[in-house]
């Protein structure tokens, strides 16, 4: 699969098959996090991978009762040092790499932004001075998932000046 296909195939997956993930796939996915760009190459990111069924069940309540959190292979918390300027961006780039690498390997992901940070910190033992920036579910998709609609390109691409819309025929 090339990058274009990985981008096109990535969808938010909220239904997961019960399957374990081979260690070599996990290593490839970890590499996708490791190789992400980051502000000043600070690599201001740490990731807590939760595969334990009981812990995942308890995480549901920390994630606005999104029940699929309990059924993914791994729930991942993206943790950063919030005293550094680009912490939100760094985590997001790394997780974006992860979503595309996962898509290439046939796995699904879903960003989880609806969460109670304090509850996640308590459950996962994240230190007070760190920030849980964003979370993600990951696993083998189950069933069919449908792509969500996107804005037309000319609604958000401007050329040279804000408001000067991209036209396909120019």
Burial class of residue 39 (count of CB atoms within 10 Å of its CB; 0-12, 13-18, 19+): middle
Least separation in angstroms between residue 158's CB and ligand FMN is 22
Query: How many residues belong to the site for ligand FMN (CB under 6 A)?
Result: 11
Q: Is residue 96 part of the contact set for ligand FMN (CB under 6 A)?
A: no
Q: Is residue 6 part of the contact set for ligand FMN (CB under 6 A)?
A: no
| Residues in region 122-151 near ligand FMN by CB under 6 A | 134, 148
Q: Is residue 53 part of the contact set for ligand FMN (CB under 6 A)?
A: no
- State how far Cα 34 lies from the chain centre: 14
- List, in sequence order, every residue forming a beta bridge with 47; answer none if it has no partner: 78
Least separation in angstroms between residue 137's CB and ligand FMN is 8
- State how far Cα 17 lies from the chain centre: 18
Among the listed residues 67, 94, 61, 63, the one whose alpha carbon sits nearest the alpha carbon of residue 79: 94
How far apart (Å, rounded) are the C-alpha atoms in residues 154 and 74? Answer: 37
Q: Is residue 11 part of the contact set for ligand FMN (CB under 6 A)?
A: yes
Q: Is residue 114 part of the contact set for ligand FMN (CB under 6 A)?
A: yes
Residues in contact with ligand FMN by the rule CB under 6 A: 11-12, 14, 66, 110-114, 134, 148
């Amino acid at each position: 699969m090339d990058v274009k296909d990985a981008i096109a195939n990535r969808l938010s997956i909220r239904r997961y098959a019960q399957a374990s993930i081979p260690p070599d796939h996990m290593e490839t996915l970890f590499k996708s996090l490791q190789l992400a760009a980051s502000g000043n190459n600070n690599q201001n990111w740490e990731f807590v991978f939760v595969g334990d069924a009981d812990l995942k069940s308890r995480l549901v309540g920390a994630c606005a009762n999104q029940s699929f959190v309990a059924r993914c292979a791994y729930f991942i918390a993206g943790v950063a040092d919030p005293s550094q300027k680009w912490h939100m961006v760094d985590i997001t780039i790394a997780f974006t790499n992860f979503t595309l690498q996962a898509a290439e390997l046939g796995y699904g992901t879903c960003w989880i932004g609806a969460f109670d940070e304090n509850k996640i910190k308590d459950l996962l033992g994240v230190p007070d001075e760190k920030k849980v920036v964003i979370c993600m579910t990951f696993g083998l998709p189950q069933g069919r998932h449908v792509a969500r609609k996107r804005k037309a390109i000319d609604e958000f691409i401007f050329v040279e000046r804000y408001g000067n819309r991209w036209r396909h025929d120019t």
